[in-house]
Amino acid sequence: MQQSDNNQSNPWSLIQRNAKFDCPYFTAHSDTVTHRGGKQRSYNHIHMKNFGVAVVPIDNDGSTTLIGQYRFPLDRFTWEVTRGGGRRDVPPIDSAKRELREETGYRADHWLELFAASASPGTTDSIAPAFVAWGLHTGEPHPDPEELITQRRVPFSAAVAMAISGEIADLASIAAILSIEVRFRRGELPSDLASFLASS
């Protein structure tokens, strides 16, 4: 049922919370709910105990570094921006800085949060804060022992093309890259970052 833009009330009522599976990373629920006081039914969803950050590092020449790795749930190799997890009790920017150092070795002088997106809001409360980082200082990456990663440095314009073509398929990576591109075209980025992108 469609509602007016002004009505943002919660139509759901929780009758009983039912945790079906729990691990250090998430809890799977099959809760008993009603919608607008209707019949009771089950609502299956996943509560994430952590969140996944995304970071797009931009070099002074307008290049970015992509991360490639084989993703077990997808059973295939993927190209992404820097991605990783963070605890909900830790500020997302701190987790983003840690992941950037671990996967690329970079430290950055400047950070801009792009968004905190919900990837699949009908089934999970997972969020993905995304950042762009610039003013980079190089160092040695230190990935987790179970991360076998490959780095690929490309002009940012090439990363945009990869996001549009589907070569980059991770939603947070696509959204972060295209958010930077749109802000660049609108003149909404800090001037030094915009000058780097203009040269790519």
CA-based radius of gyration for the chain = 19
| Residue-wise pLDDT tens digits, 91-128 | 999 999 999 999 999 999 999 999 999 989 999 999 99
Instruction: Measure the CA angle with vertex 199, ends 197 and 200; round to 5°.
Output: 70
| Residue-wise pLDDT tens digits, 2-46 | 656 678 899 999 999 999 999 999 999 999 999 998 999 999 999
Closest CA to 176 of 94, 84, 53, 86: 53
User: What beta strand segments (E) does 6-105 contain?
Assistant: 12-16, 19-22, 26-35, 41-48, 50-58, 63-71, 76-80, 82-87
| Residue-wise pLDDT tens digits, 37-60 | 899 999 999 999 999 999 999 999
- Buried b / exposed e across 48-67, counting CB within 10 Å, b at 16+? bebbbbbbbbbbeebbbbbb
Task: Give CATH for domain 49-198.
Answer: 3.90.79.10
Domain boundary assignment for the chain: 12-47, 49-198
Number of H helices, E strands in the chain: 4, 11
pTM: 0.92
The whole-angstrom separation of Cα 146 and Cα 183 is: 35
Token pair of 128 as six digits = 């993905």
**Residue owning tokens 């940012």:** 156
Instruction: Give the DSSP H/E element, type plus range, for residue 126.
Output: none
